[in-house]
Amino acid sequence: MFKGIITDVGTVIDITTHSNSDQIFHIKAQNLSPIHDGDSIACSGVCLTVVNIINGIFTVQVSQETMRVSNLNAWGIGKKINLEQAMRLSYRIDGHLVQGHVDKTVQILAINQNLSSHEIKLSCPKELIKFVARKGSVTLDGVSLTVNSVTDQEFTVNVIPYTWENTTFQYNKVNDNLNLEVDMIIRYLDQLMQYKYN
């Protein structure tokens, strides 16, 4: 479980394909606390397991299902990614409860400066827009954000300067795809409602 509060920006330094076709990413981190084999790390919002660590570079193995629903299939060497280690239950939750289970990707339609902040407009898949609520929470590339507005299949979020400068948002441009995880409480409520009325 995560909070959606990014603690480091890492860099993909190597990519290999495992014999069973899973992708292997080698990621260099700068400021993470000590990590160990088996730890969970959210990599741009995707919960991945550390399978190896050598000289500050950790390795994760990604299944084809994760590659299919996320933007990891567009990662290349040099790609900057948001990193967050799993939270401890004794910590305060600064963002919101994040599982690291990406629902799908959303495309950036516009990035506009709004005073010192940046407003990002995104296109959302039709089946997921019902989970996006004004003033509710979403996770984009691992970052917990509040939804400003929702119209049809689009929504906007506001990124304050601190978040812009300390995450990969500063590298994003129009047409980029971001990993979306909707609020898990809304997702479970929807499942319960479907069960009740079916």
Q: Mark whether 18 and 81 lie in a shared domain.
A: yes
- CA 29/CA 104 separation, integer angstroms: 25
- Does 52 lie in the same domain as 21? yes
Within-domain flag for 99? no
Same domain, 76 and 42: yes
β strands within 7-103, DSSP E: 8-17, 23-28, 40-43, 46-54, 57-62, 80-85
Q: Which amino acid is at 175?
A: N
User: Is 81 in the same domain as 144?
Assistant: no
Residue 91 forms part of a structural domain: no
Q: Do 47 and 81 reside in the same domain of the chain?
A: yes
Segment 158-163 mean pLDDT: 96
pLDDT band at 19 (very low <50, low <70, confident <90, very high): low
Residues 113 and 172 reside in one and the same domain: yes
User: Does residue 90 belong to any structural domain of this protein?
Assistant: no
Q: What is the pLDDT of residues 54-105, one digit of tens each?
A: 988 999 999 888 999 999 999 999 999 999 999 887 777 777 888 899 999 9
> Where in the sequence is the domain holding 192, given as residue range(s)?
104-197
- Do residue 39 and residue 108 come from a single domain? no
* Cα–Cα distance list, 46 to 66, 67, 76, 96 (Å): 8, 10, 16, 15
Q: By three-state DSSP, how is residue 70 classified? A: coil
Identify the CATH number of the domain in which residue 173 sits.
2.40.30.20
State the average pLDDT for the chain.
91
Q: What is the CA radius of gyration of the chain?
A: 17
- Sorting pLDDT into bands at 50, 70 and 90, what band is 197? low
pTM of this prediction? 0.90
